[in-house]
A = this chain, B = another copy of it.
Amino acid sequence: MAGTTKEIAAEVGLSQPAIYHYVGSKSDLLREIALQVDRDLFAALESGIARSTNPAEQLRGIIEEYTAAVVRDRRVFAVFWQEGHSLPQEIQDRIREDQRDFITRVGKIVARLQRSKVLPPGPVAVMARAILSMPSWMYHWYLPEGQMTATEIADVYCRLIGLGERR
């Protein structure tokens, strides 16, 4: 695993007291980061779905909320995706199961959108992963000093997959 606990804690923007709390326990810190990512993913899913009963609006909601989470907790996501393989096995298993659940639930919305011809036919799990790749990958390139907000970037993702104008 790269870096000291202190470096990682500083990288994800923890406060000094939190850094002291974690110093000496890298695995506790990584566990905390993983649980934050897990919470972010599910909060994005739940609030996206809660926006509407219309699946196109739900998918737009998930993309917007997830993009906002990656932008807001960018460093947490970066450490998670880079260091996730160093997590204790039981946490890795839990996160992997949660991610599968996330893909399954987004896949159900994708399937509804395929039936109404908003999305093209194709395997729903791959399509769900392809859509979520766009916000996931942002930690590699998004700069907070850039000129676009998370909502504007999410709108590009939505238009690219034919979700139409924002309501």
Contacts and interface: CB of A to CB of B under 8 A. Distances in A.
Interface in A24-69: none
A122 interface: yes
Interface residues on A, range: 20 to 34
A19 interface: no
A144 interface: no
A151 interface: no
Contact of A157 (B1, B130, B148): B130
Contacts of A159: 120-122
A160 B129 contact: no
A139 B127 CA distance: 16
A123 B122 CA distance: 27
A131 interface: yes
Given A86-B2, A160-B120, A133 B126 contact: no
Interface string A129-167: 111011011101100000010000101110111100000
